[in-house]
Amino acid sequence: MSVYADVIRYRELFSSLFRRDLRAKYRGSVLGLAWTLLHPLVLMGVYLLVFSLLWRVTEIGSDDYWLFLLSALPAWVFFATALQGSTRSLLENANLIRKVRFPRQLVPLSIVGTNLVSFAVMLGVVICLSLIVLPEARSTVWLAIPLGALFACIVAGVALALASLNALYRDVEHLVAALLLPWFFLTPVLYSLDQLPGVDDYPAAEFALHWLNFLTPPIEAMRASLFFGDAPSAADTVYTVVAAIVALALGAFVFSRSDDRIAVEV
Amino acid sequence: MAPGEIRVEGVARRFRIHARETRTLKDLFVQRGRAGAEDIWALHDVSLEVARGEAVGLIGRNGSGKTTLLRLIAGIIKPTTGRVRADGRIGSLLELGAGFHPDFTGRENVFLNGAIQGLRRAEIRDRFDEIVAFAELEHAIDRSVRTYSSGMTMRLGFAIAAFLDADVLLLDEVFAVGDEAFQRKCFGRIFAFKQAGGTIVFVSHDAAAVERLCERSVFLERGRVAFDGPTREAVARYRRALADEIDPAERGAGLREWGSGEATIASAALLGSEGEDRLQFLSGEPFAVRIGIDAPDGVPPLRLQLELRDDAGTLVAGEAVDLRAIGWAAQGGEQVVHYELGSLPLADGRFHLRLGLTDESGEHLYHWLDDALVFIVYPGDGERGMVRFAGTWRVEEKTAKR
């Protein structure tokens, strides 16, 4: 656990790296840091436009498909962008890692941190929209915040593991890039698992989509609280907590095992 | 352990070298990651203790493990076996400006790099003006580092590390670049650090730089400590090892001797003060050349030529002697001639001695040996350059004034 405790111990370094990553992303652009907020808002605006005005999806049994979508989209966007950014991060800082001693796990974790900012903004907006549009969700909407925090732990653990592995095996980043699109369709973002017409015929497929894809339970849980106004199911909640712990432990394990080789092979 | 101490105990470090530069997942699954990999031991059983305030040089050829040892002490990599302990804040100048972000201004990079080296923001803020002044970048500190010249980047990198307030400073060939004035300034800063009780480990190919900074040096050969002691001795061993390795190659590259062969130079050796064979000399030591000449009966009187050149081939000194004039008896067989100097007038460097044998007119060449001997001269105290002047200094007496 000292892998993560170092974030607190070296918080000044972490905040320096965090600020660097945040600013480097939008360096030279006129709006600069404002893009951190604008980018997720523009993205959400597009979905809003397409799915509330142009393409009215009714399969979910509600007119507010756009909000249904937005209740899961921030988590997915966070997962995908944080993973892509952090997987390459150790290689991109190779000259630093080879020459200076510092807790190297801060490099991918800082990338996760910058993406967490966008996630928080998007989640905040969705919570506001939900409060306005869906009075029945008013009491459960807040549960999305602890769920989001647990989700961030999952992303951090997976990102740290993949960043470490990519330092040793360069095709991890290509694997990640190639897997993200199919993964998107296998995760209930555009649809809800129980409303899929096909799942009645293939219960095994539904089981696999729900429990083998570790993104499904946290996303379903967040959607339950943000959109359906239900408390998340116990199974989804427990799964999310366990997944967060396992992901963090896995990230710490993979990183500690490869830490020494990272400095040699990046 | 007190801050500033370094203890390296029985350390070995293995690197796994792969046939290809980078590995892919396929290697892992198909070949279990083993095939095509080769283990290289960069260090074997290295033990070393550095006390607080000591300056230790690490010398050795490329691939002798110097940089690996430095990275181990810095904590960037871990030993395969053994233990490395270094206490206190360690400043590593393994590469100046490592980790600068080109899109950020000098100011932002100072804060970022300082944080990576372990400084808190408040500490950096306190030192910021000093750092910028030392780097002489007052005019450019708010420009992005992308616009800096490599010299400016280096200066900033050095300045940050120099103002770290470290207990231990690890230096790796950092003086190889930069203009001379700034190099002097860096050296001055490092000297001040040493005077203040800081520990230094310094890696360099430049023996003169090591001698200036370190009393003690470790000579590494193929990953082992070949010598650990006074720098002068360590440098001598290093140079001897270099000469040993270069000479056979040069000899093998062509004999570099020619002539008609009626008379030949049969042997040549350099002798030290005790008459022993030597290839290393201290500046100002007694020095002698012993030359065996094989000339059968009936060869006309001989003239022996001697040329001294430096590594670049510049003629440093040349002399010739008619052997008759020094008492050469015209009889068959080998005779030995000595050329003696009470005090070697060379200061520092590697020198090549060429020998030639001609008739007295110098027109007919019997035998010529390029690089008959290669030897090394180490400077004494305060000597620089190629030649030793050995002049004397005096103060003119004051003329009494009324």
Indicate the residue of B92, B95, B103 with minimum beta-carbon distance to A28.
Answer: B103
Question: Does pLDDT of A79 surpass 90?
Answer: yes
Residue position matching structure tokens 């708010």: B142
Total tally of structural domains belonging to chain A: 1
Residues of A in contact with B76 (CB under 8 A): 97-101, 263
Mutation site, A12, A14, A260, interface B, largest B CB count within 10 A: A12
Count Cα atoms within 13 angstroms, Cβ side, for B357: 27
Q: What CATH number is given for B256-378 in this structure?
A: 2.70.50.60
Indicate the residue of A101, A171, A175 with minimum beta-carbon distance to B90.
Answer: A101
Structural domain boundaries in chain B = 6-241, 256-378
Residue position matching structure tokens 């067989």: B333
- Residues A23-69 pLDDT 10s: 777 666 666 667 777 877 888 788 778 877 777 666 666 677 888 88
- Residues B140-162 pLDDT 10s: 999 988 898 888 888 888 888 88
DSSP B39-107: EEEEEEEEEEEE-TT-EEEEE--TTSSHHHHHHHHHTSS--SEEEEEE-S-EEEESSTTTT--TTSBHH
- Number of A to B CB contacts under 8 A, please give it: 81
| Chain B residue with the nearest C-alpha to that of A265 | B22
What does the alpha-carbon distance between residue A39 and residue A34 come to, in Å, rounded to a whole number? 8
- Residues A252-265 pLDDT 10s: 999 999 988 888 87
DSSP A242-258: HHHHHHHHHHHHHHHHH
Question: Does pLDDT of B245 surpass 90?
Answer: no
Mutation site, A13, A19, A100, interface B, largest B CB count within 10 A: A100
Q: Please choose, from the candidates A90, A127, A79, the residue with its C-alpha nearest in 3D space to the C-alpha of residue A266.
A: A90
ipTM for the predicted complex: 0.76
pLDDT value for A58: 65
Could you tell me which CATH class the domain B6-241 is placed in? Answer: alpha beta
Instruction: Summarize the confidence of residues A204-220 as an average pLDDT.
Output: 89
pLDDT value for B252: 38
- Cβ pair B22:A27 closer than 8 A: no
Angle CA A142–A145–A150, to nearest 5: 140
Question: Does pLDDT of B295 surpass 90?
Answer: no
Q: Smallest CA–CA separation between B61 and chain A, in Å?
A: 20
Indicate the residue of B24, B74, B112 with minimum beta-carbon distance to A101.
Answer: B74
End-to-end CA, chain B: 66
- Cβ pair A24:B121 closer than 8 A: no
Indicate the residue of B27, B75, B121 with minimum beta-carbon distance to A101.
Answer: B75
Instruction: Summarize the confidence of residues B103-118 as an average pLDDT.
Output: 86
- Cβ pair B112:A16 closer than 8 A: yes
- Cβ pair B22:A170 closer than 8 A: yes
Domain that holds residue A185: 2-265
Q: Smallest CA–CA separation between B40 and chain A, in Å?
A: 13
